Amino acid sequence: MDFKFQKLWLCIIATLVAGIMPAQSFSDSSSCDSYKCSCDNDPTPAGVMISHVHLKKEWMVSYRYMGMRMQGLNNGEQTDNEGNALQNYSASPDFMQMNMHMIMAMYGVADRLTLMGMLNYSTAYMKMTMQGGARHHHGMNSSGLGDTKLYALYALFKNKTTQMLVSGGISLPSGSITKRGDTGSMMYPGQRLPYSMQNGSGTYDLLPGLNLLHQHNAMYYCVQASSIIRTTTNTLDYKLGNEFNLNAWYAWQWAPSISNSVRLEGNLAGRLHGNDSSLDPYSELSANTANYGGKRILVHFGISVQTKNGCLKRSRFSLEYGMPVYQDLNGLQSTLKNSLYFTWAQKF
């Protein structure tokens, strides 16, 4: 499936770039005409954090919410069932809900250079079925600050309709990797929770990316490649897998303040290396390092509303709903069912 996965995204990139390149002019221009420029109107989907640079001395602050729900089990590409999981593990997940609240700020140092910083707070809840003659359920949860991310975005070229950006960032390990279960927990009484229930990676991670955005009248096309590169193991002697993301999205601004979007996203996540020696890998799925990483393709549908007047002038409200169309996961993992994104962004 690796070849098919790569071939799909190469076709997407080739199609979008072929449509963009003949229509554009590469003459540099920093000025923007209202409603006719990719740096004034912003139909970026709620689940996309980087699409363009800002003008010199322009600020943008935003609040973002991301929610993901997982239910059922996948073994590779196939669905699996709870009974099979309980033959090898003491517990099997029923569902998991992950939520993240993020505050982001961007500042245009120059017309081609923008700096960006992000802080987030995340929560996770997992409900599990336990082994036993009369099976019973158990829940565990965690919450706290996540890892802090700092970026620099530079426009390799930029005009009224097209921006090609290169981005570089670093993720600082401000999120905890030592969250523990409640003292009354059946699975982790006062003990360290498994990897997916922690708030951070525990490592300094590199965040390179490349982004191409083009506007043609009321239509916007964008292709974006980004990755997370883990540099070292953390203090508990493990590191999460590297990740590679590829996004291709299209937005149609069918009214001066309203646009709709469709986005195709591919994610390739590597295996978890090392292990936390305090975890029993056969207590439940998320404690076993073999059950991390894999490939997913998702489709997202979104709407954005931009305000041009009043006290919220230059604000953007975006909502996006996503669902997987393909999953090939390492080992036995919870199946991703859907995702929801909401963004409020304000320019100054």
Does a structural domain hold residue 328? Answer: yes
Can you give the residue range of the structural domain that contains 320? 2-23+47-347
253-262 tens-digit pLDDT:
999 899 999 9
Does a structural domain hold residue 329? Answer: yes
In Å, what is the CA distance from 307 to each residue of 17, 283, 312, 341, 347? 30, 51, 6, 19, 11
In Å, what is the CA distance from 272 to each residue of 13, 89, 238, 290? 29, 19, 7, 7
pLDDT reading at 59 higher than 50: yes
The answer to whether the beta carbons of residues 200 and 236 sit under 8 Å apart is: no
Band the pLDDT of 8: cuts 50, 70, 90.
very low
- Average pLDDT (157-179) is 96
Q: What is the pLDDT of residue 87?
A: 86
CATH number assigned to the domain comprising residue 284:
2.40.128.130
Does a structural domain hold residue 271? Answer: yes
Q: What is the pLDDT of residue 289?
A: 96
179-204 tens-digit pLDDT:
999 888 888 999 999 999 999 999 99
Q: Tally the domains of the chain.
A: 1
118-148 tens-digit pLDDT:
999 999 999 998 876 556 678 899 999 999 9
* Secondary structure letter of residue 193 according to DSSP: P
Mean of per-residue pLDDT scores for the chain: 88
Does a structural domain hold residue 39? Answer: no
Statement: the pTM of the whole predicted model exceeds 0.85: yes
